[in-house]
Structure 1
Amino acid sequence: MELITGIEQFAWIGWIVLIAIFLVIEMLTLDFTFLMLSIGGLAGLVSDLFGAPLWGQVVIAAVVAVLLIFVLRPPLIRRLHRGEDPTLSNVAALIGMRATVISTVTGLGGLAKLANGETWTSRAVDDGVSFSPGTALRVVRIDGATAFVTSDTATPQESQA
């Protein structure tokens, strides 16, 4: 019985540690989930300061955290992403891009010049297919430093535009 009394007496320390841990994780993830959990922990700490029993503190902290996650977090996320640039970048921007064969592209390899001017090691998506130099292609996917390509109906001049 003394152990439980000791835990209840010093529960505020546990709440502060839990809040600090959640805030550090939130700083690393920037997803607002752990921020809501830390605010729930703050509610548990406040209920401890008002003399609530330990089980009540945990229930209050859990209810506040869940409510915040489902009610406050979604609008915060929308507001955070509201001004984002919708333009694709990096590898995602290469998918669907036109390319021109520089050296014969087969299922095993070859070189293609993408519309953005980059030269990539390329492979045909379909096995047994080969594309000769000057053929217009389209990037289907990127795997590491290899562009997987397929035939494109555009002319080579359009693929460089």
Structure 2
Amino acid sequence: MDWLGEHAWAAWLGVAAVLGMAELVSLDLVLIMLAVGAMAGMVTAAIGAAVVVQVLVAGGAAVAMLALVRPSLVARLHRGPELRLGTSKLVGQRAVVTETITGLSVGRIRLAGETWSAAPYDEHVTIEPGATVEVFEIRGATAYVHPVSELGE
């Protein structure tokens, strides 16, 4: 028992390691917060504080981590990246006109390596081949585009 009193920091480190490994199985971010509390207890033991102080510091740190850090981590992990599927991922991309586009006739553009039928978003605009356009909307198999002004024009 005398060894444990002199090496309480090692006991706290062991508890933190066990909790950290258990977190790898549970993946709910509770045990890792308790492990951080155990690390705080280890630091307190290393500076020579009484066992009661070590337990209070470890418990306080664990509760603080559970209340303050865990909710934001869980929210960030569950949110994930924005996922755009289908034609919505093409909106906002630039394309090159391959066939004249007017308000009266549908033309063609080269978009993401494919040829798409295209109409002008503003029906009063005529877009010539070779022009760069931006896709504003996709309805069915037709991309509605608007010309992109080049620098120097």
Q: Percent identity?
A: 34
Q: TM-score, normalised by structure 2?
A: 0.50
8 Å contact 1:11–1:48 — kept in the other structure? Answer: yes
Instruction: Quote the residue 2:20 is aligned against.
Output: 23
Instruction: Quote the residue 1:83 is aligned against.
Output: 80
Q: Deviations over 1:62-113 (max 9, x none)?
A: 0000111011100100000002799xxxxxxxxxxxxxxxxxxxxxxxxxxx
8 Å contact 2:45–2:51 — kept in the other structure? Answer: yes
Q: Which amino acid aligns with 1:72?
A: V
Q: TM-score, normalised by structure 1?
A: 0.48
User: 1:27 Cα deviation (Å)?
Assistant: 0.7
Instruction: Quote the residue 1:13 is aligned against.
Output: 10
User: 1:7 Cα deviation (Å)?
Assistant: 2.6
8 Å contact 2:12–2:41 — kept in the other structure? Answer: yes
Instruction: Give runs of aligned pairs for residues 96-107 of structure 1, distance below 5 A.
Output: none
Figure out how many residues of one structure are paired with residues of the other and give that number. 83
1:45 aligns with 2:42: yes
- For structure 1, the 5+ residue unaligned runs are 87-161
- For structure 2, the 5+ residue unaligned runs are 84-153
Runs of 4+ aligned structure 1 residues displaced above 6 Å come to none
8 Å contact 2:30–2:70 — kept in the other structure? Answer: yes
Who wins on radius of gyration, i.e. which is larger? 2
In 2: Cα distance, 1:79 partner to 1:68 partner = 16
8 Å contact 1:8–1:53 — kept in the other structure? Answer: no
Give the aligned CA root-mean-square deviation in angstroms. 1.8
